[in-house]
Amino acid sequence: MRFRGLALLLLALAAAPGHAEPPIRTMLDAANAQVGVTIHYDGSYRQLSYPGGDVPEDRGVCTDVVVRAMRAAGIDLQQRVHEDMKAHFADYPAIWGLSKPDSNIDHRRVPNLETWFRRSGFALAPGRMAAGYEAGDIVSWRLPNGLPHIGIVSDRRSTDGARPLVIHNIGAGTQVEDVLFAWNPVGHFRPFAEGAASSDNAAR
Check residue 21 and give its pLDDT: 78
pLDDT in tens, 148-170: 999 999 999 999 999 999 999 99
Check residue 95 and give its pLDDT: 94
pLDDT in tens, 12-66: 544 444 556 799 999 999 999 999 999 999 999 999 999 999 999 999 999 999 9
pLDDT in tens, 165-194: 999 999 999 999 999 999 999 999 999 975
Among 19-28, 43-52, 68-77, 136-145, the minimum mean pLDDT is found in 19-28
Question: Model pTM greater than 0.75?
Answer: yes
Mean per-residue pLDDT, 70-84: 99
Check residue 49 and give its pLDDT: 98
DSSP collapsed to 3 states, 175-189? EEECCCCCCEEEEEE
Query: Domain segments of the chain: what residues?
Result: 1-204
Residues 200, 68: Cα–Cα separation, whole Å:
15
Check residue 195 and give its pLDDT: 41
Q: Tell me, what amino acid is at 49?
A: S
Residues 181, 189: Cα–Cα separation, whole Å:
16
CA atoms within 13 A on the CB side of 100: 0
- Distances 18 to 89, 150, 157 between C-alpha atoms, Å: 42, 34, 29
Check residue 4 and give its pLDDT: 54
Q: Which CATH code is given to the segment(s) 1-204?
A: 3.90.1720.10
